[in-house]
Amino acid sequence: MYVGHSINPRKRGISSYFMPSILNSKARRVLRYLNKYGFGHIKLTIYIMNENSSLEQVVELEQHFIDSLNPNLNVDLVASGSGHHEPMSQEIREKLRKLRGTPVYMYDTNNFALLYVFESKQQIYSLINMHHTTLNDCLNSGKIYLDTFFFSLDLIEESPETNILDLDQIKSVISDKREIYVVKHPAAKPRLRRGEFKDDPKKNIEFYSLSGLAKHLKGDRQVIRQYLTGEKSGYYRGKWKFTYKI
């Protein structure tokens, strides 16, 4: 049994425990349990509090359940606002206290050490030039950023270490990872599409854009895509055969 709290219960209580990057790290007692015994007999109960509840009220209710249930997968049986069971320096405590409004926590997926606490999503957009769609993907689906960083709206209990970096260090680390990531994931080259006109090669056409091809033929892009991918066979409108040109 395990008790915890979160401002994003769907992600924290459900998604994160099924993410291979987190599950396989075995950094927490509850993760080691799930790795060993699986999810076959797991029952999940989520208690949704009033949106106006204070953090103190959340922690108080968490402590009530910890005292009542005595969960064996909680390392610390004292609920706290930070979620950490290990001693934290006064400097880090003060930083987390100031940022407790809507902070975003950044972890290293190698060991799930806490690297930095951003004041808000907006600070991430402006300071490290991360697109809002990318950040939302990381927060909502657990996507690992640059194959290295895990972003969360929650502090992860039982994080093996806390390694708060300053902003310049964070920018430098992300910059280095971006260079490696660009090499590892080169930009995709545009694919050339070829339309062959039945019985008249002079009318054959080539397009890099599916939208451009559909516009030229005044046709439906989705239908043309189905002919390109082989979902539909034969000739489009009885006249056109579409292929990708290598």
Q: Which pLDDT score, from 0 to 100, does residue 242 have? A: 84
Over residues 42-78, the pLDDT tens digits come to 888 888 888 888 878 888 999 999 999 999 888 778 8
On average, the pLDDT of the chain sits at 78
Question: Does one domain contain both 60 and 111?
Answer: yes
CA–CA distance, 16 with 105 (Å, rounded to integer): 14
Q: Is residue 2 part of a domain?
A: no
Q: Is residue 83 part of a domain?
A: yes
Q: Is residue 109 part of a domain?
A: yes
Instruction: Enter the pTM of the model.
Output: 0.46
Q: Is residue 32 part of a domain?
A: yes
Using the CB atoms, write b or e for 20-48: b if 16+ within 10 Å.
eebbebebbbbbeebeeeeeeeeeeeeee
Question: Does one domain contain both 204 and 120?
Answer: no
Over residues 16-41, the pLDDT tens digits come to 666 665 666 555 678 788 888 888 88
Question: Does one domain contain both 156 and 204?
Answer: no
Question: Does one domain contain both 212 and 239?
Answer: yes
The full DSSP string for 132-181 is: HHHHHHHHHH-PPBTTTEEEESSPPTT-S-B-PPPHHHHHHHHHHHHHHH
Q: Which pLDDT score, from 0 to 100, does residue 246 have? A: 59
Task: Find the domain containing 238 and state its range.
Answer: 192-245
Final residue of a structural domain among 184, 209, 226: 184
Question: Does one domain contain both 224 and 137?
Answer: no
Quick one: average pLDDT of 8-12? 62
Over residues 178-230, the pLDDT tens digits come to 888 877 666 656 667 788 888 888 888 888 777 778 888 888 888 888 888 88
Question: Does one domain contain both 62 and 153?
Answer: yes
Question: Does one domain contain both 152 and 227?
Answer: no
Question: Does one domain contain both 123 and 197?
Answer: no
Total structural domains within the chain: 2
What single-letter amino acid sits at 119? Answer: E
Q: Does the pLDDT of residue 122 top 80, yes or no?
A: yes
